[in-house]
Chains A and B, each alone.
Chain A
Amino acid sequence: MSEHVASGPPHVHHMDAKTAYSAAKLGMWLFLATEILLFGGLFAGFAIYRWQYLSEFAHASEHLNWKMGALNTAILIFSSYAVVLGVDAAQHGENKKVKKWMLVTLLCGCGFLVVKFFEYKSKYEHGLFPGTVDHITNIAFNSPEFNAQYKMFFGLYYCMTGLHALHVIIGMGIIFWIYLLAKKNRFSTDYYTPVEVGGLYWHLIDLIWIYLFPLLYLVG
């Protein structure tokens, strides 16, 4: 959606540039609120069952690799820093710098997804994936030490990190679109709305991960 929000001036005819800028920003903040509420449902569900099945969730959490999680946290925090520099460059009309920082952000996004991929892969190889797969004999879920609450922990883990990864991919699409605009020298000191609102979206993706990481990986 932010693609539209941001495609305001200099073409809009139904409001002046200043109104368009503040409208785009308000629109994005509202959209971020809806995103937080969307994840809020997952956080609420996680909180309830963690409270109900505390020791099972703590044990299940030990199967996650906190080092990879920490690496991804560092990657995303750095990417947010790159976005901030990109916004600053856009505000000064420096399209070349915007391009550079968007590329850095894209690389960080890729890096995050690669790490996530290897995490999922190792879980899969250990048979830690949700679903009714009774015919697979080596699946860890079917072993006696795994009870229903372990399944639930991993179910929530996949839902939360999966939905987050989907947002990373969408965010990368938006960052790439900003990169293309910068390539066409579209940003100036008067017009940098897409970088600003796209940046807001990326920060939210970062922020959600910053909550996911300790909750899933660290709190035992």
Chain B
Amino acid sequence: MAEGKNYLNHETTIWSWLTTVDHKRIGLMYLFTISCFFIAGGVAAILMRLELAKAGGDLVAPDVYNVLFTLHGAIMIFLFIVPGIPATLGNFLIPLMIGAKDVAFPKLNLLSYYIYLVGAIMALLAIIPVDWISAWLPEFLTNFLTWLGLSGPADTGWTFYAPYSLETGSSVIWMTGAAFVLGFSSILTGLNFIVTIHKLRAPGMSWDRLPVFIWASYATAVIQTLATPIVGISLLLLIMERVFGVGIFNPDLGGDPVLYQHFFWFYSHPVVYIMVLPAFGVVGEIIPVFSRKPLFGYKAICYATLAIAVFGFIVWAHHMFTSGLSNASAFYFSLATFTVAVPTAVKVFNWVSTMYKGSISFDTPMLYAMGFVFLFMVAGTTGIYLATLAVDVFYHDTYFVVAHFHYTIQGGAVIGLIAGLHFWFPKITGKMYNEVAGKIGWVLVFFGFNLTFLPQFVLGMNGMPRRYYDYPPEFEWLHTLSTIGALINGIGYSFALLNMLYAFIWGKKIAPRNPYKSLSLEWDTQSPPIHENFEETPTVTDYPYAYGVPVKEAV
């Protein structure tokens, strides 16, 4: 901690953390919490992969397997990657990058953290296996859990599709209730960011000087605010349906399960952009710094970000090509989905063009950023297959979709988060992590990831359906490869996170203000920043990517 008082040490009691309204501390609290859930969701994934390593059931029973993939999906989506980058890096960086002292509504920011915690606790309750543990529990506790309406871990998959979610005996109400509460937290975070970016920019920080991470966070916040209420009402209706038998999703009562799918995907397609847009922003910050070149096509990247957010709202039914759509709407949704590829490709070309003839240094954040570009390209191109009507009928609900999804969300959002954590680590902690260990972590993550999911593309092409407990022997070698990859991937993440944790707590190497000579505003204050962010409100005179060009004024 180089320069005396900073946001980490100006108050040190636990109470000062729990009641803080400082966006930097709230960001760290989120980071700690979502990391716990990342580990939990990861353990569920590893158990699933171990079960699938060999044909036949050998590790867990089939119903436990159903619970595992529900847990993995629900935890990773609702508790880890939706808050993901916005709640952690977004909270920490948005005010710093625009030269503000805090977000617009600091108390609301803390409130949304606690709402998130309430949702997390509800999700944890929903995974208690009441039947199994009742033998060891005192009777009143079992009765209490039953009275709460808890029956057993939710087994519907993270999508809660009706009519199964209306019939299963598991704790669906608690899991969907948790998703509802977590959505509320997400809405408040998004709303806070939109107002912050509109109202609290430092003098001179015009929209055409905003860092691309801010543009990405803004677009993300718009989706968080406008898409989440729809899933809120859908889940609420699902709960009402289970409690009172309203009937709107239940075919027995004249309702339509496909309507649930429409409602669900109206949010849950845009939500993938909540996950991945901030990662675009992170990568857009990293690449010019380590290429020492101005970001290629800054404005195109900003507009592409907004375009993706808008297109994200009008393509939802491409998840439903096999669920019963009219030909006209299937045609429309397929076509609209193709258009998403345009702004996405604009971004990829711009990142690569930024690197072209740049003076690239392969530091850990840059390795992750380049890995991101590669993985996301695979994700994007396989997305084109799935947008194609005839092809999707075959690929739907196979491992091809699983692999595509993980290339976008793990290869995109998670790798983006890890890239950003490495990049801003000196700013957040005031320390430097071990560079060699960081690179080893990257190698393990990158190769482990590809080894896990490339075989899954092949499995899907050969017709292996998703969510199956068992499979014919000819698929075995690909499943075994995938499981080995998942283990390497898991070791890689543990290695990378432990490296950073070690440096945070025991690290000796002190970070300077601006270790990478970045031109962005957050590097203009000390590392870690003081409680008020800046000694005095900064004035901005240029966009932050003027690398390698004559500097207009000395900074």
Contacts and interface: CB of A to CB of B under 8 A. Distances in A.
B191 A131 contact: no
A144 interface: no
**Most-contacted residue by chain A among B100, B199, B253 (CB, 10 A):** B199
B255 interface: yes
A22 B254 CA distance: 47
Given A38-B233, A45-B259, A23 B246 contact: no
B240 A155 contact: yes
B245 A155 contact: yes
Given A34-B229, A41-B229, A26 B102 contact: no
Contacts of B319: none
A158 B246 CA distance: 9
Contacts of B247: 148, 151-152, 155
Contact of A30 (B100, B106, B194, B243): B194
A7 B225 contact: no
A114 interface: no
Contacts of A7: 107
Given A14-B101, A151-B253, A41 B233 contact: yes
A53 interface: yes
Interface string A38-55: 111110110011000100
Contact of A38 (B105, B199, B229): B229
What are the 10 tightest A-B residue pairs by CB atom distance, in nearest-first order?
Answer: A155-B246, A41-B233, A14-B101, A37-B229, A130-B244, A38-B229, A148-B254, A152-B247, A148-B253, A23-B199
A5 B108 contact: yes
Given A34-B229, A41-B233, A159-B246, 8 more contacts: A14-B100, A23-B104, A23-B105, A23-B199, A41-B229, A53-B254, A159-B236, A163-B236
Contacts of A30: 191, 194-195, 225
A71 interface: no
B39 interface: no
A215 interface: no
Interface string B213-247: 00000000000011011101110110010011111
A48 B226 contact: no
B107 A152 contact: no
A151 B105 CA distance: 43
Contacts of A127: none
Interface residues of B, number: 42
Contact of B101 (A13, A31, A131, A156): A13
A46 B460 CA distance: 39
A26 B199 contact: yes
Contacts of B357: none
Interface string A116-158: 0000000000000011100000000000000111011001101
B425 to A, nearest CB: 26
B188 interface: yes
A19 B199 contact: yes
* B interface, over-half SS: helix
Contacts of B552: none
24 contacts: A4-B108, A14-B100, A14-B106, A15-B104, A23-B195, A27-B191, A38-B229, A38-B232, A40-B233, A41-B229, A42-B233, A42-B237, A44-B263, A45-B237, A45-B248, A45-B263, A49-B248, A49-B254, A49-B255, A148-B247, A151-B247, A152-B255, A155-B244, A158-B246
Nearest to B95: A14
Contacts of B225: 30, 33-34
Contacts of A130: 244-246
B177 to A, nearest CB: 15
Interface residues of A, number: 41
B245 A131 contact: yes
B187 interface: yes
Contact of B199 (A15, A53, A151, A163): A15
Contact of B248 (A4, A152, A163): A152
B540 interface: no
A215 to B, nearest CB: 15
Interface of A: 1, 4-5, 7, 13-15, 19, 22-23, 26-27, 30-31, 33-35, 37-42, 44-45, 48-49, 53, 130-132, 147-149, 151-152, 155-156, 158-159, 163
B200 interface: yes
Given A19-B199, A130-B244, A33 B101 contact: no
Contacts of A15: 100-101, 104, 199-200
Contact of B263 (A1, A4, A26, A41): A41
A44 B188 CA distance: 24
Given A14-B101, A152-B248, A26 B198 contact: yes
B72 to A, nearest CB: 27
Contacts of A4: 105, 107-108, 111
A37 B230 contact: yes
B331 to A, nearest CB: 21
A41 B108 contact: no
Contacts of B243: 131
Nearest to A27: B195
A152 B253 contact: yes
Contacts of B100: 14-15
Contacts of B256: 48
A22 to B, nearest CB: 6
Contacts of A132: 245
A18 to B, nearest CB: 10
